[in-house]
A and B are shown apart, each in its own frame.
Chain A
């Protein structure tokens, strides 16, 4: 469990993270979504104790990061895919890391094997591709078999196969009951990887909710209808209380009725349907809508706390 409470970080006049309150529960993948420069990395660095917040707290299992007895056995963090010395081999990088937390050295080969780097373990990591570096970073997070894991943009620069691998890996960690917190600016990726979302814009909390809720909150529920009986259908739908708009190519956009309800209506009135399709707003649409109008969705501290509380 990660708990951020009123987390704030300023750099001179800019407020990178502004009064951020959220929780990351165990057992699910929580996506940390926001445009580039919205404060995701700064937040993660504060959770990891690398940056000191100006106010507020970030706790892991109720403790500040620097109070952890064996940090690598409690938290695995991948904040920077290239955070190792280029001249050192992958195995040696993991060896010194293991020693810091008294982790048995056989564990080094276990995690290298797990991420598929055994065959290149002796090579200098400076020669690694970005994908291999990401895998090494992931191997490092697993060294201490921690219950809490943080990944900052873990699929950046990966090929489709690598992205799939990371996705399965993250979901596997959550399925084992671990707390998994993954930042991304790739909305489509989060929609398939995450169960929950913490969305921020300009350092402020925009939403703290499930992926499904997030999509529903924004523009969901419209249905696209194509019919040769335009006029009759329109009046029938209006009578039923639906909001009907004319779409392109003789189609109708219906709001206020579900696709099954429209189908039943058509059967009752003998109207023809050529196409009937629910328009589910993509996570991307929802995100754009929410971040475009930041002022409207800017939560007060109370709203942020309430959103966090509602999910429990």
Chain B
């Protein structure tokens, strides 16, 4: 349903895009027409998945990725006084997403996006202990330009994320059966909870030279707990990246981007806690055109996945952006 809704909203945005193209351009638009992509100070900025772009522009993003953890120490599964499992295992996850941003004015754009992340236990022990989690999110956002000079751009955005967290918690389900003596509607095996968050972000892009660019984002998010009965809380995220384009240096249309982001997320296990994650990313992409960006990204994430368990996850993604 979320995917369908996302697709319909993307269609709505495409209508806006089509209408914008149908309009006669004024002198200002014509002058900006020469620069289509995220260019500032002669530098073509490269996107990094997980790092919002600072630019107010029309673009479409398609991302497909996944990852894996290994030698994960999973929590002990105990029923009554008996330890059923004290497993080690691996978790694999897949992620896919799409987003369209539409520039309404040169100072305003709106965007919609859909992201799906699925976490899978790759062996039976991991499944029994951690279950299978899926997180879907439908994003709506508004971005406005606050300041722009030849080399620097500051923008602000307002984001609304309507998500849902689905867990298949075999451990909890079995405990519930033991405690209640049977299967009850209050102890489902598959549990889906909707959550909504709203936040304000500040983005900055700075072109050091035609070859080097910096981007940074800071955001504050007010969001619901994924556990019913928990209070809404404020979460903070921050990140930055540096982008080196080889074309101005040696004429090769390849760019390397390295970034790090810190995220606070509501815990899916405990309403009173949050799970923090630090993600380091590196992307290699082509800078052959201002009209699109194509890159391969590798991520390393160190974060809490619930029950006090920290895990290092390695993942990768193929990311495409089209600029209009």
**A and B are interacting partners:** no
Q: Which residues of B contact A (CB under 8 A)?
A: none
Chain A interface residues (CB < 8 Å from chain B): none
